[in-house]
């Protein structure tokens, strides 16, 4: 299933199911995406049945919102592609060394935005806004100390995410959180693809384009820590909750590691693509 949150005719965001370029309204079945994620297998079967009878709207007539507004910070992996780890270490004149354990940071909930929402650009805040396309994982159920061999049972689905980063703020603070958490710096979507429709998330092409010029191109098979390893590590002594979002890291090709460095500017169009999941298209907009 492709599950969305959408706005239509001035109504507040509703939950929907995308089928053949139409959105089937699920508001009469579930009140929110979090409620949908909490459904049992029988409940999801009801959603499938509703697809045959529910009212539908052409996809191009709705505004897609972030498919999920997280209840707590988005959890992210840093340097989870070897080539990206090497390019950043080289750019920062650091010794080249791949991480031995997942490098975890978070983005504030207020950074999350929709698949076509603008990326705010405020010269008074940051001038070095960078791109980082990623596959994101949505957690299905509560779990703690989850064994890696059982971890995929805790995956509800997947979405596309761009970990937009203010590199100057990141350098100033010598940490990740502030530079990763500006409002509108975490576009996600366009929908959640349920896990049953993506049986192998470890062989997906990942691409990022700026003004239709390719900047990043890799495959999720190149992740250093795969999804089961990441879930097992995160859940060690820490409870994962339904609806948690885990961003699995970005490949090489980010602006900060280029010679000379490249950063986004107002008017730039940022396109983020994960094979089998979907595409984001966000315009950098001066505020």
Residue 69 lies in a domain: no
Residue 194 has pLDDT above 90, yes or no: yes
Residue 126 has pLDDT above 80, yes or no: yes
Cα torsion angle, 113, 268, 135, 107, sign = negative
The domain that contains 129 carries what CATH number?
Answer: 3.90.850.10
For residues 82-115, one letter each, b for 16 or more C-beta atoms within 10 angstroms of the residue's C-beta and e for the rest, the string is: bebbbbbbeeeeeeeeeeeebbebbbbeebbbbb
Band of pLDDT at residue 79, cut at 50, 70 and 90: very high
Domain boundary among 30, 45, 64: 64
Examine the domain organization and report whether 172 and 218 are in the same domain: yes
Examine the domain organization and report whether 95 and 209 are in the same domain: yes
Q: For the chain, give the percent of residues with pLDDT over 70.
A: 100
Q: What digits encode the pLDDT tens for the residues 238-280?
A: 999 999 999 999 999 999 999 999 999 999 999 999 999 999 9
Global pTM value: 0.96
Residue range of the domain that includes 54: 2-64
- Distance from C-alpha of 220 to C-alpha of 205, rounded to nearest angstrom: 7
Asked if 206 and 273 count as a contact pair (C-beta separation under 8 A), the reply is yes
Q: What digits encode the pLDDT tens for the residues 82-111?
A: 989 898 888 887 887 899 999 999 999 999
Examine the domain organization and report whether 52 and 100 are in the same domain: no
């Amino acid at each position: 299933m492709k599950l969305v949150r959408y706005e239509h005719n001035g109504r507040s965001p509703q939950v929907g199911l995308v089928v053949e370029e139409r959105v089937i309204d699920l508001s009469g079945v579930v009140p929110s995406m979090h409620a949908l994620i909490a459904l049992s297998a029988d409940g999801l079967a009801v959603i499938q049945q509703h697809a045959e009878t529910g009212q539908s709207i052409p996809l191009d007539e709705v505004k897609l919102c972030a498919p999920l507004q997280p209840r707590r910070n988005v959890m992210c992996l840093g340097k989870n592609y070897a080539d990206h780890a090497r390019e950043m270490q080289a750019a920062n004149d650091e010794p080249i060394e791949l991480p031995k354990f997942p490098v975890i940071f978070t983005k504030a909930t207020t950074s999350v935005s929709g698949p076509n929402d603008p990326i705010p650009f405020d010269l008074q805040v940051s001038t070095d806004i960078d791109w980082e396309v990623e596959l994101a994982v949505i957690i299905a159920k509560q779990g703690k100390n989850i064994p890696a061999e059982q971890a995929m049972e805790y995956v509800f689905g997947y979405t596309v995410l761009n970990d937009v980063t203010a590199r100057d703020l990141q350098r100033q603070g010598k940490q990740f959180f502030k530079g990763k958490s500006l409002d509108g710096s975490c576009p996600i979507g366009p929908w959640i693809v349920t896990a049953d429709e993506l049986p192998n998330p470890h062989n997906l092409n990942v691409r990022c384009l700026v003004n239709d010029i390719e900047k990043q191109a890799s495959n999720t098979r190149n992740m250093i820590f795969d999804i089961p390893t990441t879930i097992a590590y995160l859940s060690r002594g820490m409870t994962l909750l339904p609806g948690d979002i885990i961003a699995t890291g970005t490949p090489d090709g980010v602006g900060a590691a280029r010679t000379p460095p490249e950063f986004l500017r107002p008017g730039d169009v940022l396109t983020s693509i994960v094979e089998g999941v979907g595409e984001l298209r966000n315009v950098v907009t001066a505020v």
